[in-house]
Amino acid sequence: MKIGVVGAGAVGGFFAARLAHVGHEVSVLARGKTLEAIRARGIRLESEGRSYTETVRASEHARELGAQDLVLLAVKAPSLPSAAKSVGPLIGAQTVVLPALNGLPWWFFLGDQGPLANHRLNAVDPEGVIEREVPLSRVIGCIVYPSFSAPEPGFARHAAGSRIVIGEPSGGASQRAEMVAGVLQGAGLAAEASDSVRREVWTKLLGNICFNPVSLLCGCSTDRLIDDERVYRIFVAMMGETLALGRALDIEVDIQPEVRIAATRKLGNIKTSTLQDAEAGRTVEIDGIMGAVVEAAQSIGFPVPLLRAVYALGRLRAGALGLL
């Protein structure tokens, strides 16, 4: 397949290298030092005890790469509106767009039938740019569970996990979701197609909404946060609020907070993407991960006092660091 990857950081670099390694024609839309590194040395990946160096097409101009069969959006939420303006030439008549994002994606309530049907999440797409530039009909939802880092431009490191869940935003099964899952499986990933991708997004959100902002506030890896009894109780309460909000939005997630926390603890010493970004001086995803959830709660008048408090503190911390 012709596969375009927008953004070649930790997540995009991982997918680009793994897909190129099994023979797909991979193109990367990148810029700056990342583009220079990929052109000079290829895209490099350390994953599961193996090292890959793959040659891919790379450009800062989508028109040079042309229409793709599959486009993977792997930029952070704050950068996605500007990136969306440039991806048009990558999207052809049959292109599938796979957004690999943390938090609530821009498409989450679009086309939905629940209490927030067709609500635009201003926290992630304030001017509707992504909604206009990336047609919802082309989108397949994507939840990425593995942990990654980017030690340097053009180099991705895969720390743990291989589960990827994809599915139609409107729910139900589809041939194209099965097709994309098969492509990812062919690259050695534990990919699966879900008939309820919104529920899967909310399940992943349970971890992100706790670990990411609190790691920003405390500067700690997830194992240290979870092993602190006081912080652990905060996580249980935050997940409880998130689960209750999900039910109010007709999103039923059948998992206990303690079980969800235990799954992350098994990964060991992991730095969240938010903490990695903060330490590298990059813009953090506090609005996409927490702001969108608080917005959804406010829109239906649902109380989430602890989530609101942590969001306020996390956003203030990000602003103080100059990372908003």
Residues labelled catalytic: 204
Instruction: Report which of 151, 155, 18, 154 is spatially closest to residue 26, judged by C-alpha positions.
Output: 18
Q: How far is CA 245 from CA 34, 288, 318, in A?
A: 39, 17, 25
Extract the tokens encoding 63: 């028109």
Whether residue 166 contacts residue 142, with contact meaning beta carbons closer than 8 Å, is answered with yes
Whether residue 278 contacts residue 315, with contact meaning beta carbons closer than 8 Å, is answered with no
Extract the tokens encoding 86: 């440039």
